[in-house]
Structure 1
Amino acid sequence: MKEYKVHTYEEAIEVIREIGFLPLAKLIPNYPSLDSITAKEHWYTGSELDPWLWRAKFPGDGSAAYGKFVKKKSVLLSTELLPFYRAILGSPLSIEARYQDGLMSREAVELFALIKENEGIDTRVLRVEAGMKDKEKKKLFDNALLELQGSMDICVSGTKAKTNDAGEKNGWSSTSFETMNYWAKNHRIDDSQIEKEEAKMKVRDHFASICSNEAMKAFNKIFGL
């Protein structure tokens, strides 16, 4: 597979468009990740060359969808291939129907309803609104968020800085979430229904044209190709 070396945000966007799927950290053998194609010394510097800050810019400007969509790991997905990924990983059934069929947890259903009512909601606010602020409910909360990202019902919309009463930045930024439908509509991404088998064929052909055999095996497993 082609070697990539990225220095700027714009170059990272080009790589995502070209390969269609970019994990933040190592996930696929013989395949790039954002941390493998960028300079280690730029991470967590807070500068415009900091890839850790880019992760919030991609979904913010519509360059890529971002979330823990695969194996509970953070990945960036190109907007061109997004509808095909959704057809494979998502479900044609509504959240309510999946819950009735025992395919979704009650916590995930409740969080989805809150996110839909408050698109772009801060994780900290979401946890309070869901009544899951207690320490013993953190795991339930985190698992429900992972569940909704894994089914591509929600995605990261960006990050929000923690501020004090004076409006000054105070502590780490937190993730904010939107429903995937809302994000896709805002960024004019085609959300027409695609048949699962058609989507698999498109994704299979795409990765077969750029990947090593080892990487292709991993993608076959992830997407059931």
Structure 2
Amino acid sequence: MYKGYEKESVITFEETAEIVTKIGILPLATLIPEHPSLNGLTKAENWHTGSELDPWSWRVRFPGEGLAGYGKFVKKKAILVSSEWFPAFVAAVGSTKSIEERYNDGLASREAVTLLQIVREHQGIDTRVLRAEADMKAKEKKTAFDNAVTELQASLDIVISGVKERQNAEGEKNGWSSTSFETVNHWMEDNGLSSFEGDREEAIAWLHSKMNGIWSPTAIAWTNKAFSWK
């Protein structure tokens, strides 16, 4: 673990929020070498308890309270990106081309195009409704759906905006909760974040200026390679 962040040293959401604000990017699980992760910082016995100290529930408090963008932004792994870093992160990682342009260039799947069009029209849509709207409820279409949703997060088109409880006809909780999505632009506007003023290289330079002195050289090098940054 990188200096200053000891294993199992975090108990509360507020403590985690301070760390996310300071280091900018926090993966949920171990991912970046010599860099903290949410599961590494917290106690295993607090996970999936449903209490206020359950780190699993915090993952959606962050985007819900506008403290961090959340999604599978790198190597199909979920990370939190602080609201201060997020505009630069979008500019440094996201595509400058629209999803339609990328599809025409063979750089995006047809499923991703379909799903993004639906999310644009139904901000905060949950997974079950999204699959139904896209006509992808069939079991054999689940993999294509999951891949397209991950693709849209990696390209910074959408973020995970929350979790919706599954309810029965009486309004009682019934079964597993469902992830909900909204477009990156909508989430940023909702939380008062402006687009980064600068190009991709300037955004990368801004992020590097924040990482230097806080992140380990190993963590920075890994991130540069993962995102193809110079």
**Per-residue CA shift, 1:71-112, capped at 9, x if unaligned?**
100000011111111112111222222222221111000000
Which residue does 1:222 correspond to in 2? Answer: 226
Whichever residue aligns with residue 56 of structure 2, its letter is: W
In the alignment, structure 1 segments of 5+ residues that lack a partner are none
Give, in whole Å, the separation in 2 of the partners of 1:203 and 1:120: 28
1:141 aligns with 2:116: no
In the alignment, structure 2 segments of 5+ residues that lack a partner are none
Give, in whole Å, the separation in 2 of the partners of 1:213 and 1:61: 31
Which residue does 2:96 correspond to in 1? Answer: 92
Which residue does 2:79 correspond to in 1? Answer: 75
Residues 1:18 and 1:76: Cα distance change in structure 2 (over 3 Å): same
Which residue does 1:30 correspond to in 2? Answer: 34
Q: Normalising by structure 2, report the TM-score.
A: 0.94
Which residue does 1:53 correspond to in 2? Answer: 57
1:151 aligns with 2:155: yes
Whichever residue aligns with residue 200 of structure 1, its letter is: I
User: Is the Cα–Cα contact under 8 Å of residues 91 and 196 in structure 2 kept in the other structure?
Assistant: no
User: Is the Cα–Cα contact under 8 Å of residues 69 and 149 in structure 1 kept in the other structure?
Assistant: yes
Pick the aligned partner of 2:43 from 34, 39, 42: 39
Let me know the Cα RMSD of the aligned residues: 1.1
Which residue does 2:176 correspond to in 1? Answer: 172
Deviates most, 210-219 or 38-47 = 210-219
User: Is the Cα–Cα contact under 8 Å of residues 83 and 194 in structure 1 kept in the other structure?
Assistant: no
- Secondary structure, aligned partner of 2:209: helix
**Aligned length, in residue pairs:** 225
- Secondary structure, aligned partner of 1:102: coil
Give 4+ residue runs of structure 1 displaced > 4 Å after superposition.
none
Give, in whole Å, the separation in 2 of the partners of 1:217 and 1:69: 17
1:208 aligns with 2:216: no
Which residue does 1:18 correspond to in 2? Answer: 22
Identity score, percent = 53
Residues 1:205 and 1:192: Cα distance change in structure 2 (over 3 Å): closer
**Per-residue CA shift, 1:180-221, capped at 9, x if unaligned?**
000000000111442111111112222232122322221121
